[in-house]
């Protein structure tokens, strides 16, 4: 078409990677999912998902797999009814596995609890009765603001059991964030704790809840778990968990709910903008989290000890601590605290102690472990591990290699899993018994998922090309809307490309057809007419032995349009000098080409991150362009920005 505007040049693909690791023979031999699944799903996508839904227990079967008559509003397993908590608990106990450990819990101070599926079921039944006694009925919203204690999972499952929609808010968020989320969802009850342990100290939660509830007229009751024994203020609305749950009836019959019954609302992390209340429903969500947990982690419920290091307040905690693993009857480790308390080897000590076989963590954690040094994990026996997962940000190839070598003993496949709060479950990932892995790449859409990389006009890019990651077909665990705002749902996700879900992330396809995530498109830099991804420049910096972590932004530049400004943390916390800065700039130019050479590199002690550990580049862009800072409410540590801005002012 002549009158259409010239498409902007699509995202440049600068980094090339030739390392491959074949799946280990023992994992191939016993794999839950083989390459045949891709063909099966390709031939009949809906039939494939119906089979996966069949892994669950339905009280009433569905009569239609997908209703996509009114896109983008999907209905999956129409007419089907199930109870999510029944699928996560009762059916395992009924099958004779009540004695299997569901949660090995380790508190930060070292206290422990061992909770079997039978224990978990009985506590969830009583919690469900307690919520009902407090007046909660199906469809009501319940906010959960908790430390990483088993009651957090119990509270979620109790809500699911009675059809109340939970909204978990990360137990470190401020009054603003908590009250905003409670009000947006009009929650009737808040479940919280006096506090939790973090960095060796009790960290109070109740005062934040008290202040928030004062701003939230919808809240009728606050249920408080006693964890730390700290003094708490007490009001008429407050009840202790041990009183109301401890005193509730033991028996509870789970009622089935419609497949499209709202299961939870979860607000996105707010890395880029005001958090959105993402709504997930029951049947499709549970189908896909359960299947992906089975496929991507190759979970063997009888023998594996699985550990996802995420917080329950993030979607990873929802899908891969609670609903995925528990629907599969897995045994898992749950840890309350931080990785450096009381010492920097705590994670590895836990893996050794509980003989963890599968570890799922985030690149931010992996880079921190790299920064702390190889000698720390080397002091522990990590030979129980068999599969390693990564989620949350693109993983730099060198961080991937470090993870494989120093944690996985060069033996465990690394699965880099791409997904979002909105997608509900993993979408793009290697399969450990099938895929020959490539460091830094999430590789392929899972069976039944139609991910694609398209250019500005929505056309698939060929191998070697870069552009936008989209999903061409609906998937079972997709968000159904933004809570209370269908317009924003359509506008945010479905209006960029006709008939496709656009996720907001840039991606490329390498010469072998592997998908690489290149960071958010809002972060892409336009340098002398070339679109350059922040991820590739960051990965180039991290591939230098002196660098532990890097964040890169495009700052307005009179000559090149935008110029690359990099913020780096050095390994071992060293400060660097001008020679090193020159060497790093040249290293990037050599790795990616002169176009990607940063105009400026700053050595910083820390990077601004969200509470879930994602780098907030928009704040660094504000600094690089001398603007006042945008919204910092989701920032983990607000002093970090001050240090960085001071360094910048010194003209380093």
Name the burial class of residue 236, with classes exposed (0-12), middle (13-18) and buried (19+) by CB atoms within 10 angstroms of its CB. Answer: exposed
Binding region for ligand ATP (CB under 6 A) out of 27-35, 87-95, 415-423, 494-502 = 415-423
**Which one of 164, 503, 551, 584 is in contact with ligand ATP (CB under 6 A)?**
503
Task: Verify binding: residue 425, ligand ATP, rule CB under 6 A.
Answer: no
**Tokens found for residue 588:** 């990037």
Task: Verify binding: residue 551, ligand ATP, rule CB under 6 A.
Answer: no
Q: What is the distance between the alpha carbons of residues 422 and 479, in angstroms, rounded to a whole number?
A: 5
Q: What is the distance between the alpha carbons of residues 642 and 626, in angstroms, rounded to a whole number?
A: 13
Cα–Cα separations (whole angstroms), residue 336 to 25, 312, 496, 545: 35, 10, 40, 33
Task: Verify binding: residue 517, ligand ATP, rule CB under 6 A.
Answer: yes
Measured from the CB atom, is 47 or 513 closer to ligand ATP? Answer: 513
- Quote the least distance from Cβ 628 to ligand ATP, whole Å: 20
Binding region for ligand ATP (CB under 6 A) out of 192-200, 270-278, 460-468, 545-553 = 270-278
Binding region for ligand ATP (CB under 6 A) out of 319-327, 498-506, 543-551, 564-572 = 498-506
Measured from the CB atom, is 85 or 471 closer to ligand ATP? Answer: 471
Measured from the CB atom, is 350 or 503 closer to ligand ATP? Answer: 503
| Cβ proximity of 149 and 196 under 8 Å | yes
Task: Verify binding: residue 459, ligand ATP, rule CB under 6 A.
Answer: no
Question: Which candidate, 537, 548, 544, 555, places its Cα nearest to that of 604?
Answer: 548
Task: Verify binding: residue 442, ligand ATP, rule CB under 6 A.
Answer: yes
Q: What is the distance between the alpha carbons of residues 78 and 69, in angstroms, rounded to a whole number?
A: 12
Task: Verify binding: residue 271, ligand ATP, rule CB under 6 A.
Answer: yes
Q: What is the distance between the alpha carbons of residues 334 and 300, in angstroms, rounded to a whole number?
A: 18
Query: Which residues in the 276-335 window bind ligand ATP by CB under 6 A?
Result: 315
Say if residue 394 carries a ligand binding annotation. Answer: yes
Task: Verify binding: residue 393, ligand ATP, rule CB under 6 A.
Answer: yes
Say if residue 439 carries a ligand binding annotation. Answer: no
Question: E strands within 217-343?
Answer: 221-225, 238-240, 257-258, 262-267, 277-281, 305-308, 331-335
Task: Verify binding: residue 421, ligand ATP, rule CB under 6 A.
Answer: yes
Say if residue 416 carries a ligand binding annotation. Answer: yes
Q: What is the distance between the alpha carbons of residues 493 and 268, in angstroms, rounded to a whole number?
A: 14
Binding region for ligand ATP (CB under 6 A) out of 173-181, 296-304, 410-418, 523-531 = 410-418
Sign of CA dihedral 603, 606, 612, 617: negative
Angle between helices 578-592 and 534-542 (to 10 degrees): 120
**Which one of 244, 326, 391, 588 is in contact with ligand ATP (CB under 6 A)?**
391
Task: Verify binding: residue 158, ligand ATP, rule CB under 6 A.
Answer: no
**Tokens found for residue 52:** 């996966």
| Cβ proximity of 294 and 37 under 8 Å | no
Say if residue 18 carries a ligand binding annotation. Answer: no
Say if residue 345 carries a ligand binding annotation. Answer: no
Strand partners of residue 561: 527, 557
- Quote the least distance from Cβ 405 to ligand ATP, whole Å: 19
Say if residue 528 carries a ligand binding annotation. Answer: yes
Q: What is the distance between the alpha carbons of residues 164 and 124, in angstroms, rounded to a whole number?
A: 13
Task: Verify binding: residue 108, ligand ATP, rule CB under 6 A.
Answer: no
Beta-strand relationship, 414-416 and 189-193: unpaired
Contacts of 491 (CB under 8 A, 6+ apart): none
Query: Which residues in the 585-614 window bind ligand ATP by CB under 6 A?
Result: 612, 614
Task: Verify binding: residue 466, ligand ATP, rule CB under 6 A.
Answer: no
Name the burial class of residue 651, with classes exposed (0-12), middle (13-18) and buried (19+) by CB atoms within 10 angstroms of its CB. Answer: exposed
Task: Verify binding: residue 347, ligand ATP, rule CB under 6 A.
Answer: no
- Quote the least distance from Cβ 529 to ligand ATP, whole Å: 25
Residues at the site binding ligand ATP, with contacts judged by CB under 6 A: 268-273, 275, 315, 391-394, 416-418, 420-421, 442, 503-505, 517, 520, 612, 614
Binding residues for ATP: 392-394, 416-421, 505, 520
Annotated binding site for Mg(2+): 542, 544, 547
């Amino acid at each position: 078409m002549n009158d259409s505007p010239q498409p902007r040049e699509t995202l440049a693909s600068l980094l090339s990677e030739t390392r491959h690791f074949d799946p280990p023979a023992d994992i191939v031999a016993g794999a839950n999912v083989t390459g045949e699944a891709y063909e099966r799903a390709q031939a009949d996508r809906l039939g494939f998902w119906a089979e996966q839904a069949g892994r669950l227990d339905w009280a009433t079967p569905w009569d239609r797999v997908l209703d996509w008559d009114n896109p983008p509003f999907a209905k999956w397993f129409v007419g089907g009814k199930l109870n999510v908590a029944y699928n996560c608990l009762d059916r395992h106990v009924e099958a004779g596995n009540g004695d299997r450990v569901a949660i090995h819990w380790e508190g930060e101070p070292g206290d422990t609890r061992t909770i079997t599926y039978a224990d978990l079921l009985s506590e969830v039944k009583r919690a469900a009765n307690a919520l009902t006694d407090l007046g909660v009925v199906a469809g009501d919203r319940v906010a959960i603001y908790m430390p990483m204690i088993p009651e957090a999972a119990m509270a979620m499952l109790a809500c699911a059991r009675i059809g109340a929609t939970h909204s978990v808010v990360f137990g470190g968020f401020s009054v603003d964030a908590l009250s905003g989320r409670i009000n947006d969802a009009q929650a009737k009850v808040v479940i919280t704790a006096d506090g939790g342990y973090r960095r060796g100290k009790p960290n109070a939660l109740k005062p934040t809840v008290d202040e928030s509830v004062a701003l939230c007229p919808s809240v009728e009751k606050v249920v408080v778990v006693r964890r730390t024994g700290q003094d708490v203020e007490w009001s008429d609305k407050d009840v202790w968990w041990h009183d109301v749950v401890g005193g509730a009836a033991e028996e509870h019959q789970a009622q089935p709910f419609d497949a499209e019954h709202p299961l939870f609302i979860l607000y996105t992390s707010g890395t880029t903008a005001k958090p959105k209340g993402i709504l997930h429903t029951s049947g499709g969500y549970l189908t896909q989290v359960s299947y992906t947990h089975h496929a991507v982690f190759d979970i063997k419920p009888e023998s594996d000890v699985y550990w996802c290091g995420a917080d329950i307040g993030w979607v990873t905690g929802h899908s891969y601590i609670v609903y995925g693993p528990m629907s599969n009857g897995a045994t898992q480790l749950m840890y309350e605290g931080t990785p450096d308390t009381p010492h920097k080897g705590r994670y590895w000590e836990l893996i050794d102690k509980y003989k963890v076989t599968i570890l799922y963590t985030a690149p931010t954690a992996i880079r921190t472990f790299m920064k702390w040094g190889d000698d720390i994990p080397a002091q522990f026996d990590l030979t129980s591990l068999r599969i390693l997962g990564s989620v949350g940000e693109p993983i730099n190839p060198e961080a991937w290699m470090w993870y494989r070598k120093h944690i996985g003993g060069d033996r465990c496949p690394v699965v880099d899993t791409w997904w979002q709060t909105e997608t509900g479950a993993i979408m793009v990932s290697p399969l450990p018994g099938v895929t020959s892995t490539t460091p830094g790449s999430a590789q392929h859409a899972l069976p039944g998922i139609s991910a694609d990389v398209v250019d500005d006009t929505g056309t698939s890019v060929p191998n070697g090309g870069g552009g936008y990651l989209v999903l061409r077909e609906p998937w079972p665990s997709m968000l159904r809307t933004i809570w209370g705002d269908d317009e924003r749902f359509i506008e945010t996700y479905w209006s960029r490309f006709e008939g496709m879900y656009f996720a907001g992330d840039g991606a490329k396809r390498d010469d072998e057809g592997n998908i690489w995530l290149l960071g958010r498109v809002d972060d892409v830099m336009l340098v002398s007419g070339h679109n350059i991804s922040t991820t590739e420049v960051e990965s180039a910096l991290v591939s230098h032995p002196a660098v532990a972590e890097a964040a890169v932004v495009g700052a307005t530049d009179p000559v090149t349009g935008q110029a690359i400004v990099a913020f780096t943390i050095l390994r071992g916390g060293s400060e660097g000098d001008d020679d090193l800065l020159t060497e790093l700039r040249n290293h990037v130019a050599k790795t990616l080409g002169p176009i990607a050479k940063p105009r400026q590199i700053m050595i910083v002690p820390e990077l601004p991150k969200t509470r879930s550990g994602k780098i907030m580049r928009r704040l660094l862009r504000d600094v690089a362009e001398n603007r006042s800072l945008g919204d910092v409410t989701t920032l983990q540590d607000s002093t970090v920005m001050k240090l960085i801005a001071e360094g910048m002012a010194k003209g380093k």
